Structure 1
Amino acid sequence: MRRFARARSLDELLVKATNRATTVDEDKTYLHQRWNAGCHDIPQLHRELPEPGFTGDVQCVRHCFRPFKKPHSPRPKHPPAPDPEPRPAPKPRRVVRWIMPNIAHLTETVRPNSRRSGAACPELDAAARHVRDFADMMRDLRGELLPSWKERVLADDLPALQGLVNGLRRDHDAVTAALTTSWRSGQVEGQVTRVKLLKHMGFGRANLGPLRQGVLHSP
């Protein structure tokens, strides 16, 4: 405001105010000596000013030394966000729920997880493919595809499925018939369950004779 009040013409106001007179001009020699001596504490220099009639504030002293201060990179307003933690691996039971059902029956939220897990682990992707192929054989009664399915499994490094293939080889004819015909063992399993129920009803004390009579006469 003092600059505008003391201006005698418009040209004085249009010129950039760089080396205009300030309240610390009379003390610049002392301030420069202290600065060169290693005292770069602006508030301390302001308190050491020897002029008893000095009325300027600390900003005047700071403005005096602004051209001599080394430039520095501006500090960010906010610290950078930390790197996101890696997503934990899904549990095996959850992965099984992704690969066991028909892929067409998976929801839109689960289907990307199934694709990502397969892309991250080629062995898991191969296992899921073999499991779905076997499920298709069971559903469509395509037992004739069993030999080619076993060859594809043995071509991959999947010890668990290869153990299953070795077990199927021992009962190849029975497994092929089960995957080809429409007959099921549900009736047999139902009769076994009925016999177990009759035995439990006798508290396990009935021998073969009474148990046989109970099986024959029970509906």
Structure 2
Amino acid sequence: MPHFGPPDSSRDCLGRPRRLVARTEERYAAVQERLAEGKSLTAIGRELRLDHSTVRRFARAASIDELLVKAVNRQSILDKYKPCLHQRWNEGCHDIPRLHREVRELGFPGDVQTVRRYLRSSKESGLPGVPRPAARPRRVVRWIMTALDRLTIGDAQELKEIRTACPHLDAAARHVRDFAAMLHDRRGDLLPGWMDCVLTDDLPALHSLVAGLRRDQDAVVAGLSSSWSSGQVEGQVTRIKLIKRKGYGRANLDLLRKRILVMT
């Protein structure tokens, strides 16, 4: 069982650096590294997906200690009740809702999530009795569909952990990224090899996709290889449908033809 000693503003209840401290150190190192490479603040902000003012603050800091002073001295409405939480945790009470009710009786005005976040400290803390929240499926899908160099450091790390824990998802993510690269680079000639590779894994959903692609493989290869698209045609079809609907079902083909020609 982890032991809670005297509260340390820079460390969590397991003695590890607080999430805010770890994130500050991580961002400072990343910004300084890119500054040394000669990159501009705008380029760094775009690469790390940080606000320009945040990048400027990290770039102008004389040292990491200057940033950590602000990070570790932030006041929290929970500060007054932390000793009580430490004591109850050491006594074996790991029921977060119960701990929240107890500090509420002492006057704590916050919600249960504040207590949960403090005891968890970070997603990597792994405290007994505090289960790690699973990432939402939509969020994981967004991470998979986003280029790795455009993910935040935290998101990339969490996606890596999820893929490591689930071999099927790791294989699916790999195939999705390969297909995206094939689409981006217009390498339709790689499609047959990609489909054969997909069939070697136990991924029924992607197997169905491969079956559909093979039914019209030549057209798919052409679509992945050519810079042309049917966007213009689809746009005109949508416009004609809109004109037709304005006739409320009373316009015959001749009238529809005239309206289209007049409105062109």
TM-score normalised by length of structure 2 = 0.51
**Which residue among 149, 152, 156 is the counterpart of 2:197?**
152
Aligned to 1:44: none
Matched, 1:190 2:235: yes
**Which residue among 113, 130, 134 is the counterpart of 1:89?**
134
The offset of 1:217, in angstroms, is 2.6
Aligned to 2:151: 106
| Separation (CA, whole Å) in 1 of partners of 2:155 and 2:236 | 39
The offset of 1:90, in angstroms, is 2.5
Higher mean displacement: 89-98 or 175-184? 89-98
Aligned to 2:253: 208
Aligned to 2:39: none
Aligned to 2:182: 137
Query: Identity percentage over the alignment?
Result: 57
The offset of 1:185, in angstroms, is 0.8
Higher mean displacement: 84-93 or 152-161? 84-93
The offset of 1:168, in angstroms, is 0.2
Cα 1:199–1:156, aligned 2, differ >3 Å: closer, same or farther? same
Q: Pairwise CA RMSD of aligned residues?
A: 1.9
**Large movers: runs of 4+ above 3 Å:** none
The offset of 1:77, in angstroms, is 11
Unaligned runs of 5+ in 1: 1-75
Aligned to 2:171: 126
| Separation (CA, whole Å) in 1 of partners of 2:89 and 2:208 | 61
Unaligned runs of 5+ in 2: 1-87, 95-127
Cα 1:84–1:175, aligned 2, differ >3 Å: closer, same or farther? same
| Separation (CA, whole Å) in 1 of partners of 2:238 and 2:89 | 73
Structure showing greater radius of gyration is 1
Question: Size of the alignment, in residue pairs?
Answer: 144
| Separation (CA, whole Å) in 1 of partners of 2:178 and 2:159 | 16
The offset of 1:78, in angstroms, is 4.4
Say which SS state the counterpart of residue 128 (structure 1) adopts.
helix
| Separation (CA, whole Å) in 2 of partners of 1:134 and 1:86 | 35
| Separation (CA, whole Å) in 1 of partners of 2:231 and 2:89 | 71
| Separation (CA, whole Å) in 2 of partners of 1:211 and 1:203 | 12
Aligned to 1:43: none
Say which SS state the counterpart of residue 153 (structure 2) adopts.
coil
TM-score normalised by length of structure 1 = 0.61
